[in-house]
Structure 1
Amino acid sequence: MKCDILAIGAHPDDVELGCGGTIVKLISEGKRIGIIDLTEGELGTRGTRETRAVEAKNAANIMGISIRENLKLKDGFLTNSEEYQLKIVEKIRKYKPEIVLANAIDDRHPDHAKAAKLISDACFLAGLRKIETYDNNILQDVWRPKQIFHYIQWKNVTPDFVVDITGFLDQKIEACLAYKTQFYNPDSDEPVTPIATKDFLESLTYRAQDLGRLSGVEYAEGFTTEKLLAFKNFEGIVCG
């Protein structure tokens, strides 16, 4: 069950929008990646929890994700509580990721920043031996991810680093568009929301283009990090 990377989002589609390109690139390189959605996105203006579940499954298939779970926490009311922390601790110990990708630390939707802190705290707690959690009545081993990186969402947060997703942007956008009820559709009769506009859809490309321009590649996704990164050498760094 071990994953190399566990991507966690407050809502279904957070992961696709924030780091979908990075995920499909890493899968192409043989990495095992899982997704945990904290809520069902049931408060979303468009669609329903049922349609969102189908869309999340379709998006996972497009990206090549074989592991995706939904914790069914309360959309709009995420709290950094013991109950919610332990639910995430159980998944971290189950999948034992080296890296966790989490929501933006500051964003328009209040659940995003709340999730960022909740996930970060759960990652720390997952490494404490005196916290006991169980999977199918079996005591879980402790596990603490080596790194937590936060993807960028609505706000233009300045990244600490970017990942070159050249060649993978189209697959990311296809995965995002699997959420047919959520994004721009000129034939939809549902209310228009900030993410259901043509401008927002186009922003997926021009943001990746701009981060690519700044870093010397065609397309890129940005991340922030909670601690200073140390490189063993300069291999793998793209010099624009």
Structure 2
Amino acid sequence: WWTGPKTNPNPRLMSVAGSSTGMLRSASVKGNINLSKTSSLPRVQGLILYSPGHVGVYVGGNVAVDNRCTGQNIKVQPVFGGRYRWQKWFKLPQLRYPGTGFVTCNGGQYYYENGQYVAGTTKSVGGTVYKFDASGRLTSGSVPASARAASAAAGVYRRVLQVGLRGGDVLALQRKLTGLHFMTADNCTGYYGPITKAAVLNYQRKKGLSATGIADLKTLSSLGL
């Protein structure tokens, strides 16, 4: 998947092996998209969109992001009313999607209720009334810091960590493993290299987890991340 500006996409945010059809088959939560019925696509950011031989990412607000050909930049187009005809949606097994609570996505605040973000409405949460536009983005009301912290602690949109990745989540993993004496503090760099892989592998073996050296969601949950 991609991060960074459209003119310089970085495909290293998450690596998912397999064909588009294989990804669809492995998904346990999925459904059909009826392009004449917007309600056929759940209001969930991070859903994977499928058409034969291709996948994209739904970022909410009727917007799909995909990269169709080698050498081309990212395409950002509507799902409904756009030129590309998506046929199915599914949840990526490597991610944990939101349940209920505030979520920050693309710099905006959204409120999820029972697995979907609310849109085009007002909502009373904890005695405070919030207003959300048609795309689900918060337009009035300030989300309390405690709610933002709870959302972050819930680990929504966590990614599987493996060799080659960088980021704050990698650093948090390294610090946790250091605290458990599987690696040393001088190796807490935020980069997932051979040392981190070996530490994860040893932790997985000790805990009776699948020993792959990849910090999957089960491993991260075991570590409290």
More strand by share: 2
Structure possessing the higher relative contact order (Cα contacts under 8 Å, 6 or more residues apart) = 1
Q: TM-score, normalised by structure 1?
A: 0.27
More helix by share: 1
Q: TM-score, normalised by structure 2?
A: 0.29
